[in-house]
Structure 1
Amino acid sequence: MDTNQYLEIFIDESKEHLQAMSEHLLELEKDPGNTAIVNEIFRSAHTLKGMSATMGYEDLANLTHKLENVLDAIRNQQISVTVAIMDIVFSSVDDLEAMVEDISSGGDGKRDVSAIVEQLLLIEQGEAAAAVEAPEAPKAPPADFPENNFQYDEFEWTVIEQSKEQGFTCWELAVSLRADCVLKAARVFMVFEVLEKCGEVIKSIPSSEQLEEEKFDEIFTVTLITKEPIEDVQEKVKKVSEVEQVHAKEIVAAKGETGEKSAPAPVPAVSAIQPADSKEEGKAIQPVKAEQNEKKAAKPSASNKTIRVNIERLDILMNLFEELVIDRGRLESISTELNHSELNETVERMSRISGDLQNIILNMRMVPVETVFNRFPKLVRQLSRDLNKQINLEIIGAETELDRTVIDEIGDPLVHLIRNAGDHGIEMPEVRLSKGKPAEGTIKLKAYHSGNHVFIEIEDDGAGINKDRVLQKALDKGIVTEEQALGMTDRQIFELIMASGFSTAEVISDLSGRGVGLDVVKTTIESLGGSITIDSQEGAGSIFSIQLPLTLSIISVMLVEVEKEKYAIPLSSIIETAIVKKEDIMNAHNQQVIDFRGKVVPLLFLEDIFSVPHEEEDDRFYSVVLVRKGEKMAGLVVDSFIGQQEVVLKSLGNYLSNVFAISGATILGDGQVALIVDCNALIK
């Protein structure tokens, strides 16, 4: 069976099952006696094992199988849930995640897990073996087999009687699978395939649907009409891997001797499991029942309303729409020049429709931040154990949506910030108690929409930031000068911890304190067109607030002109525009500045920054675009304002990736290229 076509689905579903296992394990740790939670974990592990075996990833299937044994012992109350056992189970899930990640990256999913397997076996044998003193005997058929298991309706008895008249024999077969059988449904499929070559299967217990969904233990029973010797049939069935025993008994009872009167409703005459296109183990079992088909036709079941779409297809769709936006801008420009009423109406209608289409495409790319947030509860649990601290994680607004491109990049910065909050923020339990705080510290992870931005906040109720210590460290490292330090606000001092190489940790640990991390966080967030601010109160805690754009591909800009060149300044960075008189400009520290609402704002002349050829003119007024990055502001001096427009952000490519203060380019309606100004790079 060619499994490559199923690889993406396998990876996606494996990650979903592993995430579900992690979430339920955290719940189980809080409520060890809840068998319903154990059943959920077991179900996810069992499905993952089956998928892995089908896809040929034996290491993944074997480790999941060992984990499944431990979970089975827990749900059968042969093992009690302890912290030590949970640590080993969590480590197993970590290894499974690493193996799936390796497969996702093109690997074979192999990993040395001998140590964790040995620990799982010790748990299973040491704890579970005590509850089962003697080894299990081979499974015998049920005591009431076959008389009380099967009840045939009138039509089925007619089939049995007529087949006997034609020289057939009717047998009831009890097939017993091994207790550690992998892919039970696939084994059932193979057994039915063998039986149907020998004769006709007219009934099964459990039903074909239950067999397909593996809703049975190790034994299932079928009614077979055949001319072959039953010994030959039994031998053929036993050749199916993981079939332990096959018991057979001939149906000899007369029609009146059965318990058919107790049957509440007729049973379908034929309940055969038909072979699928492929005879490989992983193929689905496809029951064929005429009566069921009629019912389905009469009452259609609710179908799944969602489909999986490869992100590359959405990227292609987005690129095509971006071209449409460029052409829309061109049409609007032509329409304005010609001033033709019908053309204007058509262009206006096209603009509305393309705007709606844009919203739909952008919404298709939106993903809840939950996909990133859901890995943090397990991270915080491990963090608590590594640091010997008591930390509780609260997640608020996990349903908030962000563009997939932003989601893919934001995970690592959030990991750094949560580790930082746990390591530097939350105090040791005894320290917290001495300060009158509860022993358990709290980290809040919150996401919410505001305008065209998403805000993510990481708040802790820990020690806060000692601004004097931070400032002294920054002075010692030469990050700021004594003169600069005098005029710095509290927030500016706090943000010094995100300077490259800055660290106040007394001891370098595996978690933080190496002088890297927060500077990487800042760089990553700014590369996404976002910003990060820090507020803190010593002794009470800190809040790291991240502001991110909803999407990165289509942005709103203010078009400006510098000499004959056009530039686009993102509206997300703009506070307002202003006309400044030449005499209002002052000089401070060799820098031209203006007084804007009581604040001193430096002026940056784009013609100088981008080396635009300048024609000498007697300018008495300056057109200024006031932009902000966090608490810092600057005034960008341009020649004129053109207006607001939605544009498509295009990369400059590898050759021009390091151009200062330019984040990309866009094609305007008249076909000209306008460079997009990176305000974050300009404001230092």
Structure 2
Amino acid sequence: MDVNQYLEVFIDESKEHLQAVNENLLALEKNPEDIAIVNEIFRSAHTLKGMSATMGYEDLANLTHKMENVLDGIRNHKIHVNEEIMDVIFSSIDDLEEMVNDIASGGDGKRNVTEVVEKLLKIEKGESPSSSPSLPESPSNEDHSDKVAISSNYDEFERTVIQQSNEQGFTCFEIGVELRSDCVLKAARVFMVFEVLEKCGEVIKSTPSTEQLEEEQFDDHFTVTLVTKESSEEIESKVKKVSEVEVVTVAELTLDAPTAEPAQEAVNEIKNAAASIAASSSVQTVEKPVKTPAKEDTEQKNTKQQAVSSKTIRVNIERLDVLMNLFEELVIDRGRLESISGELNHPELNETVERMSRISGDLQNIILNMRMVPVETVFNRFPRMVRQLARDLNKQINLEIIGAETELDRTVIDEIGDPLVHLIRNAIDHGVEMPEERLSKGKSAEGTVKLKAYHSGNHVFIEIEDDGAGIKRDKVLSKALAKGVVTEDQAQTLSDKQVYELILASGFSTADQVSDISGRGVGLDVVKTTIESLGGSISIDAAEGQGSIFSIQLPLTLSIISVMLVEVDKEKYAIPLSSIIETAIVKKEDILNAHNQQVIDFRGKVVPLVFLENIFEVPITEEKDNYFSVVIIRKGDKMAGLVVDSFIGQQEVVLKSLGNYLSNVFAISGATILGDGQVALIVDCNALIK
């Protein structure tokens, strides 16, 4: 079997399991006595180990196995959770993540993990991981000829057979056999191996079982236990003569040998790999403990969860892009059909077009939802990162995540991770003060960093807020003047918010000394560039001594949106419905002037007016009457009224990019093709309010 076809699934599932382990470890740190959490971690680690061994990534499987041994000790109350042990397990997860990332980028997943393995072995033996080091175990130089103890995989009868065989002068060997990955008739090769072994002695056990081996319910590895009088060298030589057998490991079974020999580790990994494939076709292994009444309910729940997961498939994002492009063309044709139907006023045609519109509307919702991913997939990695940063900086940090269910297009999700990482590190390093300093200011010793996501109009906003020291306006301004970012005259007219946003300039920094965690300003220009490349923007608000808020505005990047079509003179514009509160007709005499700005009194609120004919420099061909058509729009808590000539109506349109050449047109987010073939520009309401 060619395992390369499963590589993409392996990488995705490995990342999911590692994320689940990270989240549960953070929960375990707060509730060290909760064995249910340990069981969840153990289950994820066990599955990851089986998958890794199946795919042939032995270093990954070996490290996971060592970590699994520690988790097993915790859940059996042999090891008590403390901060030192948690640090070692977290360090193991870091190495596992690096290995998976290496595999994802085309590497072999190998990594020097001698130090962390040594610590895990000490924890397993009940020693402190920070005690003086013993000779390190080298997983890559295993001695396959050593003796190993009988493991718990053997029942009482099999143990008795092995014991009596030893007493009568026979030797018991555990023989691990690995077939070539391109082996076609695996069952035939297994039969040939058994035929060779049965001539040497008597086979008393195989893993997987003989039935599973005959039905090829295993990958490339299987294990056979043999009672014989021949030597390990003779057996190894005979088995290797079978064609398409790649690796043979022979280990002698004894009743009193130590239990942690390297050879046993190799055999265990082969077993886990075989069990992984036998357990499920989706490369997942399931624990099968002895059933007790308390465990049966849990197993039933797990079965239900597996049944649900089996109904999920992974689809390449490129296929969704093609599907979206085809549907966009369908929407344009639908608009054209609706236009023709309205002109002809044919009853049967009208009925058919209405039905097609309803069905295509449902199809549209499904396609758009398929591309949307909760920002939770990005936010999930931050609790672990914040924990480590807080420890490195000796600070107390509480991370609050709000709105993780907010959905964004997959393409934006993939790009937004790195900017958020930098902003959070920046907030913790330079925003939140040391505990002593916070206490002296009358604050709590623990600083709070809030990560918040929410929808507003046709945009998603992500805010990183901290209750730290804020930003010193004078310090930023003096640095900006020294670096020539602004002139003396400009500095006099800048608002606080404009001053704060100067730290986004390239190479700008207010840090007195460079930190390896972050530097406020160093790299923030990269954050700004990345966000703007996604069609978004970043703004900063702060209060010295109270904290700061970095607000990121991102487009949903939905290709199909609902709009209100309006007319300005003879040109048509589309205003996204998600930004509109309502429409109104306003008399000319109701327009007031305040601070050189025309405003109206709208339901007790002063709303500034924006004349689209002035913004877009539309040539006026007709004289205006005494009434204005106004579209009231909102961005957050701010409102504005867009003055147009007339309303055309609501319609769903395809959002088309203006291309690279027209990427920076003010207040225009794209264009669309209407049912009659005309092109209408889509208004960016957020830009107008800003």
Q: TM-score, normalised by structure 1?
A: 0.68
Which residue of structure 1 lines up, in the alignment, with residue 285 of structure 2?
Answer: none
Kindly provide the CA deviation profile for residues 178-214 of structure 1, in whole angstroms up to 9, marking residues without a partner as x: 8xxxx9xxxx999955545559999857773999999
The CA deviation at 1:376 is 0.5
What is the alpha-carbon distance in structure 2 between the residues aligned to residue 144 and residue 592 of structure 1? 82
Which of 113, 116, 119 does residue 120 from structure 1 map onto?
A: 116
* Paired residues of 2:10 and 2:51 also in contact (CA < 8 A): yes
Which residue of structure 2 lines up, in the alignment, with residue 69 of structure 1?
Answer: 66
Please tell me whether Structure 1 or Structure 2 has the larger radius of gyration of its CA atoms: 1
Which residue of structure 2 lines up, in the alignment, with residue 18 of structure 1?
Answer: 18
Look up the equivalent residue of 2:23 and give its one-letter code: E
Matches within 5 A, 1:14-163: 14-30=14-30, 41=41, 44-45=44-45, 47-48=47-48, 51-52=51-52, 54-55=54-55, 61-62=58-59, 65-66=62-63, 68-69=65-66, 72=69, 75-76=72-73, 86-87=86-87, 89-105=89-105, 107-109=106-108, 113-114=111-112, 117-123=113-119, 138-139=147-148, 148-149=157-158
What is the alpha-carbon distance in structure 2 between the residues aligned to residue 37 and residue 143 of structure 1? 25
Matches within 5 A, 1:470-485: 478=486, 481=490, 484=493
Which of 340, 348, 355 does residue 349 from structure 1 map onto?
A: 355
- Are positions 1:305 and 2:311 aligned together? yes
What is the alpha-carbon distance in structure 2 between the residues aligned to residue 84 and residue 283 of structure 1? 32
What is the alpha-carbon distance in structure 2 between the residues aligned to residue 286 and residue 517 of structure 1? 48
What is the alpha-carbon distance in structure 2 between the residues aligned to residue 595 and residue 245 of structure 1? 88
Which residue of structure 1 lines up, in the alignment, with residue 294 of structure 2?
Answer: none
The CA deviation at 1:419 is 2.4
* Paired residues of 2:628 and 2:645 also in contact (CA < 8 A): yes
Which residue of structure 2 lines up, in the alignment, with residue 410 of structure 1?
Answer: 416
Which of 339, 342, 359 does residue 345 from structure 2 map onto?
A: 339
What is the alpha-carbon distance in structure 2 between the residues aligned to residue 567 and residue 191 of structure 1? 71
What is the alpha-carbon distance in structure 1 between the residues aligned to residue 443 and residue 70 of structure 2? 40
* Paired residues of 2:208 and 2:222 also in contact (CA < 8 A): no
Greater CA deviation, 238-247 or 364-373? 238-247
- Are positions 1:669 and 2:675 aligned together? yes
SS state at 1:148 partner = helix
Which residue of structure 2 lines up, in the alignment, with residue 640 of structure 1?
Answer: 646
Which residue of structure 2 lines up, in the alignment, with residue 572 of structure 1?
Answer: 578
- Are positions 1:428 and 2:434 aligned together? yes
What is the alpha-carbon distance in structure 1 between the residues aligned to residue 125 and residue 211 of structure 2? 30
Which residue of structure 2 lines up, in the alignment, with residue 369 of structure 1?
Answer: 375
The CA deviation at 1:644 is 2.3
What is the alpha-carbon distance in structure 2 between the residues aligned to residue 637 and residue 503 of structure 1? 43
The CA deviation at 1:140 is 5.5
Greater CA deviation, 12-21 or 122-131? 122-131
Root-mean-square deviation over aligned CA pairs = 5.5
* Paired residues of 1:405 and 1:552 also in contact (CA < 8 A): no
What is the alpha-carbon distance in structure 2 between the residues aligned to residue 102 and residue 374 of structure 1? 21
* Paired residues of 2:217 and 2:278 also in contact (CA < 8 A): no
| CA 1:388–1:247: 2 relative to 1, 3 Å | closer
Greater CA deviation, 380-389 or 41-50? 41-50
Unpaired runs of 5+ residues, structure 2, are 128-132, 138-142, 162-169, 255-272, 281-302
**Of the two structures, which has the highest relative contact order with CA contacts closer than 8 Å and spacing of 6 or more?**
2
* Paired residues of 1:173 and 1:222 also in contact (CA < 8 A): no
* Paired residues of 1:395 and 1:444 also in contact (CA < 8 A): yes
SS state at 1:17 partner = helix
| CA 1:649–1:450: 2 relative to 1, 3 Å | closer
* Paired residues of 1:70 and 1:124 also in contact (CA < 8 A): yes
What is the alpha-carbon distance in structure 2 between the residues aligned to residue 445 and residue 143 of structure 1? 48
Look up the equivalent residue of 2:107 and give its one-letter code: D
Look up the equivalent residue of 2:326 and give its one-letter code: L
* Paired residues of 2:73 and 2:124 also in contact (CA < 8 A): no
Look up the equivalent residue of 1:20 and give its one-letter code: A
What is the alpha-carbon distance in structure 1 between the residues aligned to residue 279 and residue 513 of structure 2? 62
The CA deviation at 1:668 is 1.0
Look up the equivalent residue of 1:324 and give its one-letter code: L
The CA deviation at 1:383 is 1.7
Look up the equivalent residue of 2:66 and give its one-letter code: N
What is the alpha-carbon distance in structure 2 between the residues aligned to residue 584 and residue 628 of structure 1? 21
Matches within 5 A, 1:422-461: 422-447=428-453, 456-461=462-467
* Paired residues of 1:459 and 1:543 also in contact (CA < 8 A): yes
What is the alpha-carbon distance in structure 1 between the residues aligned to residue 212 and residue 27 of structure 2? 30
What is the alpha-carbon distance in structure 1 between the residues aligned to residue 99 and residue 208 of structure 2? 36
SS state at 2:329 partner = helix
What is the alpha-carbon distance in structure 1 between the residues aligned to residue 393 and residue 654 of structure 2? 47
| CA 1:119–1:223: 2 relative to 1, 3 Å | closer
The CA deviation at 1:619 is 6.3
What is the alpha-carbon distance in structure 2 between the residues aligned to residue 281 and residue 190 of structure 1? 17
SS state at 2:348 partner = helix
Which of 545, 561, 565 does residue 559 from structure 1 map onto?
A: 565
Look up the equivalent residue of 1:651 and give its one-letter code: S
SS state at 1:393 partner = strand
Unpaired runs of 5+ residues, structure 1, are 153-171, 249-279, 288-298
Matches within 5 A, 1:526-537: none
What is the alpha-carbon distance in structure 2 between the residues aligned to residue 143 and residue 498 of structure 1? 62
* Paired residues of 1:175 and 1:220 also in contact (CA < 8 A): no
What is the alpha-carbon distance in structure 2 between the residues aligned to residue 517 and residue 408 of structure 1? 19
Look up the equivalent residue of 1:677 and give its one-letter code: V
What is the alpha-carbon distance in structure 2 between the residues aligned to residue 283 and residue 144 of structure 1? 16
Kindly provide the CA deviation profile for residues 37-94 of structure 1, in whole angstroms up to 9, marking residues without a partner as x: 667556645654554565465xxx4255246435535745898866566556544533
What is the alpha-carbon distance in structure 2 between the residues aligned to residue 6 and residue 345 of structure 1? 48
* Paired residues of 1:531 and 1:629 also in contact (CA < 8 A): no
Greater CA deviation, 668-677 or 65-74? 65-74
- Are positions 1:208 and 2:215 aligned together? no
The CA deviation at 1:35 is 7.4
- Aligned length, in residue pairs: 598
SS state at 1:108 partner = coil
Which residue of structure 2 lines up, in the alignment, with residue 324 of structure 1?
Answer: 330
What is the alpha-carbon distance in structure 2 between the residues aligned to residue 49 and residue 145 of structure 1? 21
| CA 1:109–1:565: 2 relative to 1, 3 Å | farther
Look up the equivalent residue of 1:8 and give its one-letter code: E
Which of 241, 250, 260 does residue 244 from structure 1 map onto?
A: 250
| CA 1:618–1:15: 2 relative to 1, 3 Å | closer
Kindly provide the CA deviation profile for residues 262-283 of structure 1, in whole angstroms up to 9, marking residues without a partner as x: xxxxxxxxxxxxxxxxxx9999
The CA deviation at 1:102 is 4.5
The CA deviation at 1:388 is 1.8
Q: TM-score, normalised by structure 2?
A: 0.68
Kindly provide the CA deviation profile for residues 469-512 of structure 1, in whole angstroms up to 9, marking residues without a partner as x: 77888899649957755xx6x8x579747754676544443444
| CA 1:69–1:340: 2 relative to 1, 3 Å | same
Look up the equivalent residue of 1:364 and give its one-letter code: M
The CA deviation at 1:29 is 4.4
Which residue of structure 2 lines up, in the alignment, with residue 515 of structure 1?
Answer: 521
Look up the equivalent residue of 1:69 and give its one-letter code: K
What is the alpha-carbon distance in structure 2 between the residues aligned to residue 209 and residue 339 of structure 1? 74
What is the alpha-carbon distance in structure 1 between the residues aligned to residue 386 and residue 680 of structure 2? 46
SS state at 2:433 partner = coil
| CA 1:642–1:537: 2 relative to 1, 3 Å | same
Kindly provide the CA deviation profile for residues 219-249 of structure 1, in whole angstroms up to 9, marking residues without a partner as x: 977699x9x999987864588735333679x
Which residue of structure 2 lines up, in the alignment, with residue 601 of structure 1?
Answer: 608
